[in-house]
Structure 1
């Protein structure tokens, strides 16, 4: 059995110092280069409402600055800021920044929607070498984590469970995943304004284009245009309506959705 000293040494392999994330921070002199630096994104409302406990454990084990609650900070803003700062540090000759850029892995704890959100953000960054993403099955269905061997049941949130998962992330091999991209065009509803849906009201998998002008001969009938992507499934019609109703109710009453099994029954 590993003692606390060995575990603390092992955790150094995942640690990223604060200045890598924050350009206003002073550069730290670090002697050890982590072999598997990670950034952790946690949806604290996913699945059985275990995210808050998981967030606390990860922040105790790693640097608080490398663990993000998705209710407070979106992955696109975090990663844009990170990569801009890393590029600046690399230009200044920072070896640690270069190695973190090369070795970085992402961890996302949530359901399929949360995992798809992060995958979409990484895809939109158009990186030459995008970081691999490990998915913690924190949601209700967890089809995406299950397909890639991370399991389907909600994980433990204690120290030992998190350390075990970090070890799996370090040892995991990269597997490519197919993605599909869609363009949706919808007619402007009668007797209602043709303003596009606000970004905050859209699913994370969709991005709004500018409204198609009615003078465009090819798209005269359409007023709403969206592009998006998906990685494991895409629903329309009744199935999507049921899923959206579940999502809306959980957003309004999170206290009623605290168990993975009962969530699936609901």
Structure 2
């Protein structure tokens, strides 16, 4: 549900909502496709163009060098857990992209939430991403290097929270606009220039039955347990990005396009 002033726009079934870095690059990519459709004829060209857009927009820079507005600067984020009221969600200043997941699949089948280990389940009350628990997984990313950790085995983003509802409140601030994306469809969202408020609220409405294979990543809270997967340590620091550079290329389906040197963007 998107609320802007007194107008309300309601959306249907969706897989994920993202705002910030990922949505901005996706918006630029879709704009290029519409302007020059003849240039996007195969996967290699698409990947090359996407990587160049990420680089030219500065998302490979470490968080302390990236001048793009952080999520905490753009808006206030509130969450509602079951049988509780709204509460503020603290977003680290380094987070410049945020993703709300309805299913454990994002951007070509990646899983930003992963499977929290027993320590995180106990101390932070986190659970695996079940599709029928009514919870949305909220994940943050610092920059493109942080996002590339998803290509490594057991990689995941910064787990911020799980909630039944999440709300983004935009007030007059440091930016005139931001970028949002729902299931691959990006748009440019104008932000308030006066005292009005733009509110984006996402809530769980109901469920529909879906067909799934036996080895599907999406699991039910009432079904058999998922295979045990060891979680990787999560540290919100730029030192982790150095490890990501070393792991880059671990995924079989993604490769750095030939002729593209991104080393100078770090």
TM above 0.5, yes or no, is no
Q: Between the two structures, name the one with larger relative contact order (CA 8 Å, sep ≥ 6).
A: 2
TM-score (norm: length of structure 2)? 0.30
Judging by fraction of residues, say which structure has more helix.
1
TM-score (norm: length of structure 1)? 0.30
Bigger radius of gyration among the two: 1
Judging by fraction of residues, say which structure has more strand.
2
